[in-house]
Amino acid sequence: MKSFLVISAVALVAIGCGSKSTRRPGRTGASNTAIGSCADAESSGVISENPRLVFASRDLNGDSVPEKIVSDANLCMQGNCFWNVFAKQNGCSRYLGTIEGSRLEVLIPAGKNGFRSLRSFWALPSGQRELVHHYQFRETGYQLTEVLICREEGDKGIQCASEERGNE
């Protein structure tokens, strides 16, 4: 029996190593662009081979010039999308990162570098809970710094896992 398990495990590894992945980078949430690099908003970030683009804009650094936010509707799942953020800097459009979620909040005040922190909400399939992502601008772009699982509780607002433990 032991030798059968070893042979089965070796066969599975061999099959997995020999096959090529057919997943595109955008399907996994991986960006095709380095954060901080000059990039074309219509083809950079988390995007599919044949994107159906949705454009938005928000002033993220308080300079009264809105930054461009672009999502590929083909990659949205249950209202959740990958929002690629771009800002005009030093003569080019710089890719500042990708924010994941169904909605986005710009937090106040601005950080040391002038860019505000962001919070996004990723709706979970049950519809009763969501992941709350917190992004901070660090050096050249946005980085995910915290994720909490939360739920809305009517007039009480949003209750998150770390807050719920203290109330038990």
Q: Report the pLDDT averaged over residues 25-49.
A: 83
pLDDT of 53 reads 96
- Residue 6 within any structural domain of the chain: no
- Residue 159 within any structural domain of the chain: yes
- Residue 21 within any structural domain of the chain: no
pLDDT of 28 reads 53
- Residue 62 within any structural domain of the chain: yes
Q: pLDDT higher for 96 or 168?
A: 96
Number of domains into which the chain is organized: 1
- Residue 147 within any structural domain of the chain: yes
Rounded CA gap, 131 and 129, in Å? 7
- Residue 20 within any structural domain of the chain: no
Per residue in 47-96, pLDDT (tens digit) is 999 999 999 999 999 889 999 999 999 999 989 999 999 999 889 999 99
pLDDT of 113 reads 78
Rounded CA gap, 42 and 38, in Å? 12
- Residue 44 within any structural domain of the chain: yes
Q: Yes or no: say if 94 and 81 are a contact pair by the CB < 8 Å rule.
A: no
- Residue 71 within any structural domain of the chain: yes
Structural domain harbouring 60: 29-166
Q: Cis bond leading into 109, ω under 30°?
A: yes
22's tokens? 């057919």
